[in-house]
């Protein structure tokens, strides 16, 4: 039997030091030291002969990469809950197992969702800029008037683990929770949230429309001009899922015209090359895809992958196995 440390693994991005240290003990680990985002063909070349490939949402793992890493590659471990960057059908057909990191990041992502809701509704970007720039002339009765949260409807598209963690926090702010999912939740998970059978119904109730559904090809461009028009005038859009769920042209137009009050965005199409018009809008609060970015969470995500590989080695089925 192969000794554990002779198993080759390739780490596409830098993980936390505790996780990297552990991986170094368990594998003959090669690391993309400069933490650059590798293209599919670079991964195919650099990870040749690896049994395990550690990736994140920045790496595109398509059928060509998977085929080129055959027959050595048995497992892909992605430091993300989302797996839209991996061709799952190709992984299945190559017999490659895919592990991801659900649950451990739900609280951190819910915190960022609330940060976006608060900053979009209460004009966080403009407020910060006013103070930093020296433009602030002192308190004024009509200065930076925003939207209070109490009694408003927070409409969550995608009431999975992250959506429910957001709802828990949002209730504390006095928001009324509405949601749409492919299937309705049981009452104990709903916790009084109001279910809408269709996305269009949910949009019509959306004082704040918050996207927490996992990225999937069929959802691409889901929030387009027609759907934005279904929202009440002066609504707010928040996205912590994947940027390509939003039609940027439609959102930017609605923000420019005042049809929407504001948006809070943590994710963007074609990251990090976001639509430059977002940078010019005062009524958008922007964060650079930091939903799960806390040290504890990133450690926990790494450990979940390590435990998943351990389970596979022991012949058990890991809870975080996708295929």
Instruction: Provide the binding-site residues for ligand DGY, judged by CB under 6 A.
Output: 56-57, 80-82, 105, 291-292
Rg (Cα) of the chain, in Å, rounded?
A: 21
Annotation says 164 is catalytic: no
Nearer to ligand DGY, 105 or 263 (CB): 105
Q: Could you say which of 123, 152, 242, 298 is catalytic?
A: 242
Annotation says 226 is catalytic: no
Coil, strand or helix at 165? helix
Q: How many CB atoms lie within 10 A of CB 84?
A: 18
Q: How far apart are CA 153 and CA 171, in angstroms?
A: 10
Q: How far is the CB of 84 from ligand DGY (least distance, A)?
A: 8
Quick check: 161 and 147 in contact, CB under 8 A?
Answer: no
Q: How far is the CB of 82 from ligand DGY (least distance, A)?
A: 3
Quick check: 44 and 69 in contact, CB under 8 A?
Answer: yes
Nearer to ligand DGY, 81 or 205 (CB): 81
Quick one: angle between helices 17-26 and 295-313, nearest 10?
A: 20
First to last CA, the chain: 25
Annotation says 271 is catalytic: yes
Tokens 């991996």: give the residue.
Answer: 86
Closest by CA to 72, choosing from 144, 8, 123, 25, is: 8
Q: How far is the CB of 218 from ligand DGY (least distance, A)?
A: 17
Cis before 274 (ω within 30): no
Q: How far is the CB of 61 from ligand DGY (least distance, A)?
A: 13
Q: How far is the CB of 232 from ligand DGY (least distance, A)?
A: 28
- Record the tokens describing residue 97, joined without a space: 């197992």
Q: Could you say which of 169, 184, 271, 307 is catalytic?
A: 271
Q: Could you say which of 100, 123, 289, 298 is catalytic?
A: 289
Nearer to ligand DGY, 73 or 81 (CB): 81
Nearer to ligand DGY, 100 or 178 (CB): 100
Which pairing describes strands 75-78 and 97-99: parallel, antiparallel, or unpaired? Answer: parallel
Quick check: 246 and 267 in contact, CB under 8 A?
Answer: no
Closest by CA to 84, choosing from 272, 313, 269, is: 269
Which residues form the catalytic set?
A: 242, 271, 289
């Amino acid at each position: 039997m192969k000794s554990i440390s002779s198993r080759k693994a390739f780490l596409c991005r830098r993980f936390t030091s505790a996780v990297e240290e552990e991986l170094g003990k368990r594998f003959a680990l090669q690391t993309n030291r400069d933490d650059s985002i590798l293209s599919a063909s670079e991964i195919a070349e650099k990870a040749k002969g690896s049994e395990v490939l550690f990736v994140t949402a920045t790496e595109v793992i398509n059928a060509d990469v998977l085929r080129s890493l055959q027959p050595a590659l048995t497992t892909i471990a992605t430091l993300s809950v989302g797996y839209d960057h991996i061709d799952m059908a190709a992984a299945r057909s190559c017999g490659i197992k895919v592990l991801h990191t659900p649950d451990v990041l739900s609280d951190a992502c819910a915190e960022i969702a609330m940060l976006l809701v608060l900053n979009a509704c209460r004009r966080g970007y403009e407020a910060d800029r006013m103070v930093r720039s020296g433009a602030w002339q002192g308190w004024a009765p009509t200065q930076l008037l925003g939207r209070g949260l109490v009694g408003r409807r927070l409409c969550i598209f995608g009431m999975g683990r992250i959506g429910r963690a957001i709802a828990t926090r949002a209730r504390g702010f006095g928001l009324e929770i509405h949601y749409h999912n492919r299937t309705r939740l049981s009452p104990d998970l709903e916790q009084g949230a109001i279910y809408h059978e269709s996305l269009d119904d949910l949009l019509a109730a959306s004082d704040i429309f918050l996207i927490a559904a996992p990225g999937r090809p069929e959802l691409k461009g889901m929030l387009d001009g027609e759907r934005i028009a279904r929202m009440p005038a002066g609504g707010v859009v928040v996205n912590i899922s994947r940027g390509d769920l939003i039609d940027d042209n439609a959102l930017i137009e609605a923000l420019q015209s005042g049809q929407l009050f504001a948006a809070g965005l943590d994710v963007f199409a074609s990251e990090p090359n976001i639509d430059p018009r977002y940078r010019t809008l005062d009524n958008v609060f922007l964060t650079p895809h930091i939903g799960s970015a806390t040290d504890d969470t990133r450690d926990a995500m790494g450990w979940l992958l390590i435990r998943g590989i351990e389970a596979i080695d022991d012949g058990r089925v890991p809870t975080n196995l996708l295929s």
